[in-house]
Amino acid sequence: MAAPSTTLTTGINAYYLIELIESLSQLQVGYNANTDDIDQDLVLQFMKEGYQRIVSTNNRYPWFQASWAFSTLPDTHAYSTGFSTISAFSPYVAVSPDVLALNQTTANIRQVINVVNSTNGGNELIYIDQFKAEAIWVGTNDVSGIPVYWTLWNNAINLWPRPDSTTYTINIRGYRQPDLTWLSDSANSSSTAYVDLDNEFQFMLVNYTLGRIFQFQEDPTMAQVYMNHFEIGVAVAVKNLTAPNSNQPILMSAGLQLNGKYWWNNTPNNFSVLPNSPNPIGVFF
């Protein structure tokens, strides 16, 4: 049975993924060895393999974008816990911009893009090497102050110099870790633990799972067919999602054309005709 139309706009959960796989493969997936063709835990493992293969192709998929915040402690360099999620771009996991996920750790952060001290006018901290920082702030030189630099070491964000008695709010912008909650809720048809993938990748996950199922069933021909669909689909989607933003498309006849020479008149606020304007384009602000 295919997933209902409502899941196509909100994501798809593991329950309907398995039903879709059953429909396409004509195999019964379940936990009864006497009636089922393949064990459901094995199929879920295949799904996990496919999911991890997809998300490992790039560290900067747009739906993993997120921001975190934490407060500094006096004379403390390293911070690995106590983060709160202040925004997360994904309709498929519980974290959303209006729901703060508190007490997260650096394990939730896949890649850091920048670190900002929002207490001091939003100044961006400068990334340096951990060994260089330790060589500078050592012994009597390791004095406290306003954090200016940051490093990554031992699964922690380190601030340099170590913060003084002022409590600074530090914001992190980066990419969160993939969410695997959807794998553990495969028996619930109404689960909102949707597959943590962009819609473009969801059927590719089905293709990978089917390829592994047919491989398990010792049907190499069908396994290769589905794996080829998976590889081609992922390559096209990755290229599309990670392509740089395009500039304004070229418009026929150079876009909007105005007759005469125009300028912006502040009183009243509108375009006015400027006779004999020397401006070749005719429009300026």
Number of domains in the chain: 2
**216 and 145, same domain (yes or no):** no
- Residue 41 inside a domain? The answer is yes
Q: Per-residue pLDDT averaged across 160-178, rounded?
A: 94
**38 and 142, same domain (yes or no):** no
**69 and 143, same domain (yes or no):** yes
**71 and 169, same domain (yes or no):** yes
Q: What pLDDT, in 10s, does the model give residues 7-26?
A: 334 678 899 999 999 999 99
- As a whole number of angstroms, the distance between CA 36 and CA 33 comes to 6
Name residues whose C-beta falls within 8 Å of residue 64's C-beta, 6 or more positions apart in sequence: 55, 89, 90, 110, 175, 176, 177, 178
**161 and 231, same domain (yes or no):** no
**48 and 89, same domain (yes or no):** no
End-to-end CA distance of the chain: 60
Name the residue range of residue 212's domain.
Answer: 7-59+198-240
**97 and 144, same domain (yes or no):** yes
Q: Is the pLDDT confidence value at 133 over 70? A: yes
The amino acid at residue 213 is I
User: What's CA 59's distance to the chain center, in Å?
Assistant: 8
- Residue 181 inside a domain? The answer is no
pTM: 0.76
- Residue 283 inside a domain? The answer is no
Q: What pLDDT, in 10s, does the model give residues 205-259?
A: 999 999 999 999 999 999 999 999 999 999 998 888 877 776 655 555 555 555 5
- Residue 69 inside a domain? The answer is yes
Higher per-residue confidence, 30 vs 257:
30
